[in-house]
Amino acid sequence: MRRLVWVSGAFLVLQVLATSYRQSAGTASWETLWLAIIAVMLWMTYRRQSRVAWAFVVFFAVCGALLYGTGTPTHLDDPRYPVAAVAYLGQAWPLLTGTVRRHVRDRPRR
């Protein structure tokens, strides 16, 4: 379980590095914010604190894979697009395994 969340986190870092956030040059605020938000969501998933956090990460990872995987004709020559698509898929895949889904679903009762 822990390895799967770490794999998802590693692909998150790759995804943030490969994604173009269309901001002014020299600022990394959007990348940092996105990395922090999703890292917290992964932590919450690992700690069984939120099914919503798990769903949020999976939803945005699948949407990102679709958006960057299909791309637009003007961006097909940009090597970041396929890398970002693979990174998004790599982020979602571990979270969709039965191990993680059971882990999130079967939270201990308090």
Q: Specify the pLDDT at position 48.
A: 83
Q: Specify the pLDDT at position 87.
A: 92
Share of the chain above pLDDT 70, in %: 84
- Compute the mean pLDDT over every residue in the chain, rounded to the nearest whole number: 83
Q: E strands of the chain, at which residues? A: none
In this prediction, residues 46-68 reach a mean pLDDT of 89
Kindly report the pTM of this predicted structure. 0.81
Residue with the bigger pLDDT between 29 and 82: it is 82
Over the stretch 72-102, which tens digit does the pLDDT of each residue have? 666 667 778 888 889 999 999 999 999 888 8
- In the block, which residue shows the tokens 């059971």? 102
In this prediction, residues 3-28 reach a mean pLDDT of 78
